[in-house]
Amino acid sequence: MERIPLADFCEAHGQTAAAKKLNITQGALSKALRIGRKVEVIEHDDGTFTAEEVKPFPSQSQGKRDFEAA
């Protein structure tokens, strides 16, 4: 398995083909790139692709709310 940043995956395959490989719309892919979501594409041994978003845990905004409420 190899992890590839979404932008690099799109550069290598083109947005339309990348979206098809991930089973999402090209518009959703374009928006993820435009707003800077940290997504990694995983190429599996069988040639399929999945994507995972990398986020801090717990989310920063949630942690602040919990602190302020205490």
CA neighbor of 8 nearest in space, from 49, 58, 47, 45:
49
Angle at 31 between CA 22 and CA 43, to 5 degrees: 25
| Every domain of the chain and the residues it spans | 2-69
Burial class for 29, CB neighbours closer than 10 Å (0-12, 13-18, 19+): buried
How confident is the model over 6-43, as pLDDT tens digits?
Answer: 999 999 999 999 999 999 999 999 999 999 999 999 99
- pLDDT band of residue 59 (cuts 50, 70, 90) is confident
The pTM (predicted TM-score) of the whole model is 0.77
- Superfamily of domain covering 2-69: CRO Repressor (3.30.240.10)
Q: Which residues pair with 51 in a beta bridge?
A: 41
Burial of 55 (0-12, 13-18, 19+ CB in 10 A): exposed
